[in-house]
A and B are shown apart, each in its own frame.
Chain A
Amino acid sequence: MILSPHLRSASPWLDDFARIFDRAFQIQRSAPSNLRIVDAEDAWTLELDFPGRKREAFDLEVVDRKLRLTVREGDDSENRFQLPLGPTVDVTGITSSLEDGILRIRLPRRSKADESTRIKIS
């Protein structure tokens, strides 16, 4: 379990989330209400409905193993959320698309081979 006890007790859904993903992610800020997460064998996909929005309205970045999404509502308003990524997410393979009003962010799982590191004995 990746969430600290005080976070788990603060929000029941955070606890559920942590149980589902176990070491994969943790959420520090409240998730957008339209967030949906689909689990496939090789990746998780975050799906958010944003009908009518253009690509320029979004900023998506990974900083220090945290996925940060900024959604600009207008000239002077924006919403942000942040998703720390656990060790089972391959941050180098994250991709996203905005199509027909749906933003999809694909978080590939690291393979077992990636998780282990071979140490050379000199």
Chain B
Amino acid sequence: MNQPDNRCMTESTTLASSDRCGTEECRTQAENWVEPAWRSQRDDHSVVVEVELPGVVKDDLVVEAKPEGLLIEGARRQPGDTTRVVYGTPSPDGYRLKLRVGEKLNAPSMTAKLEAGVLRLEIPLAEEARPKRIEVG
């Protein structure tokens, strides 16, 4: 999961990466904040989103469900002096992801768990989006 899984943005009408714009985005670019890799999977009851946030701890993570979408922001902890990167790409200062959430998801009721640098969000489907069993009379 090194790259964002773009398939899930197009396969599902319930989750999509939102447009990036505005001064906040400019700030995050200056500080080397990047969009993390993520993937989602939907079943009959919920959508599970997994976001890769290596180096982010719970205290530095913000997950907000807003009317315009889901905002995930996490600063990456940098132990010691990381300015002298002599090989490879310097690590980002943090991660920022905005997801548009469709009407068929009950975002305020989601649960979140951060473990080993992976944020797992479980967003329940709205009642009308769940499969209904029709009894044959």
Contact = CB atoms under 8 A, between A and B. Distances in A.
A39 to B, nearest CB: 4
Given A40-B81, A50-B54, A51-B53, A102 B117 contact: yes
Classify the secondary structure of A's interface with B.
Answer: mixed
A37 B88 contact: yes
Given A100-B77, A100-B117, A51 B54 contact: yes
Interface in A21-62: 21, 31, 33-40, 44-45, 47, 49-54
A41 to B, nearest CB: 9
B17 interface: no
A50 B91 CA distance: 13
A54 B86 contact: no
A101 interface: yes
A121 B87 CA distance: 44
A74 to B, nearest CB: 14
Interface string A57-96: 0000000000000000000000000000000000000000
B91 A47 contact: yes
Interface of B: 1-2, 50, 52-57, 77, 79-82, 84-91, 115-118
A1 interface: no
A20 interface: yes
A30 to B, nearest CB: 13
Contacts of A47: 88, 91
B116 A54 contact: yes
B90 A101 contact: no
Given A33-B2, A50-B117, 10 more contacts: A34-B88, A35-B87, A36-B87, A37-B85, A37-B88, A38-B85, A39-B85, A40-B84, A51-B52, A101-B53
B84 A51 contact: no
A50 B1 CA distance: 10
Given A51-B116, A52-B118, A36 B85 contact: yes
Contacts of A40: 80-81, 84
B116 A38 contact: no
A43 to B, nearest CB: 10
Contacts of A39: 84-86
Contacts of A49: 52, 54-55, 91, 117
Nearest to A101: B117
Nearest to B57: A100
Contact of A36 (B56, B57, B91, B115): B91
